[in-house]
Amino acid sequence: MADPKLIEALSNASSLELFELSNIIDRLLADPRRIVATLNKLNLGKSVRFMDWRTGEMRVGKVMAIKGDQVTVHEDGTRSQWKLSYAGIDPGENEERLEGALPPTSEPRKHKPGRDDFRRGDKVSFTDKYLQPQVGTIARINQRTASVDCEGGSSWRVPFAMLHHVMDI
């Protein structure tokens, strides 16, 4: 996956130059704009590609949790769970299908979720106004929104279009 010319150039660099490069890369990866851009393309149950840091291979899995700066991905082939940073994930485009991803019947819905898609007691997730993922249980179904009691003790009124069902494995 790595370019041999790049590896050769980096091998000839001094330790100080590599250290400077490492700091620059760390700052770029921690840039909130990059994190938000990736987060906006992710939702629970979405198929994504991610890098196996041990081998450098790309693998395919399904997003199971989004918490803080980590995403938990369930790998389809080996049935193993990975906790990854946003930088190690390729979320693809919103409508793009990945090779080796789940069949079309298992993909997230393409229609806009409505009141009839949710029931009181359903476990759901959504992204709050601070761009933080929230997980909770529907306490009440309103005309245009659902009242969701979140795990952190907060309550939110969320439009149905922003809600995603949470699958427990």
Percent residues over pLDDT 70 in the chain: 86
Average pLDDT over residues 16-20: 87
Taking Cα atoms as reference points, which of 155, 148, 106, 140 lies closest to residue 123? Answer: 148
Domain boundary among 102, 124, 155: 102
**Does the reported pTM lie above 0.75?**
no
Q: Residue 43's domain is classified under what CATH number?
A: 2.30.30.140
72 close to 65: Cβ distance less than 8 angstroms: yes
| Domain range for 133 | 115-165
- pLDDT tens readout for residues 31-57: 777 777 787 888 888 888 888 777 778
- Would you mind telling me the total number of residues written for the chain in this entry? 169
- pLDDT tens readout for residues 83-100: 888 788 888 775 444 444
pLDDT of residue 110: 58
Residues whose CB falls within 8 Å of the CB of residue 27, separated by 6 or more in sequence, listed in order: none
87 plus 122 within the same structural domain = no
Question: What is the token pair recorded at 85?
Answer: 């940073």
97 plus 58 within the same structural domain = yes
164 close to 64: Cβ distance less than 8 angstroms: no
